Amino acid sequence: MIRYALVCKNGHEFEGWFPGIDACDKQLDKGLVACPDCGSVKVKKALMAPSVASKKGDGAPNKAAMAFAAERAKLEALRRHVEQNFENVGERFPEEARRIHYGETEKRDIFGEASLAEAKELVEEGVEVAPLPGPVRNDA
């Protein structure tokens, strides 16, 4: 038996036990695995911490690696949520963020690109911005 960390299209994380790697892949491909939270069958494997033996050699998982993987999965879920639900304004981000802040356009959730200097200027002006964690999408 093998345990996988899984995540549905809505970002819900859960575990699944399978007889082997092939069985997991086949069940996911056929939509036979459903999220226990929302019922979505659009499920994929999530990042998992490897099971690393401790110094004692007892095969216990490395807790630091597991914690890191869990936090990374949360950050990736946050990035996916923003990319799926916010408007991508690209390189116009600093200008559009200012327009929203000063009430020159409707308030809405946006994301885009800004240099470090541009981000600092926005923060100094009181515009609420934050860096988006995770790798930059190549398909945008």
**pLDDT tens per residue, range 14-24:** 888 888 888 88
The pLDDT value recorded for residue 138 is: 47
Q: Tell me the pTM.
A: 0.52
Window from 28-32, 40-44, 64-68, 95-99 with minimum mean pLDDT: 64-68
CA 51, CA 125: separation in Å to the nearest integer? Answer: 47
Query: How distant, in Å, are the alpha carbons of 12, 17, 49, 71, 92 from that of 3?
Result: 17, 4, 12, 19, 44
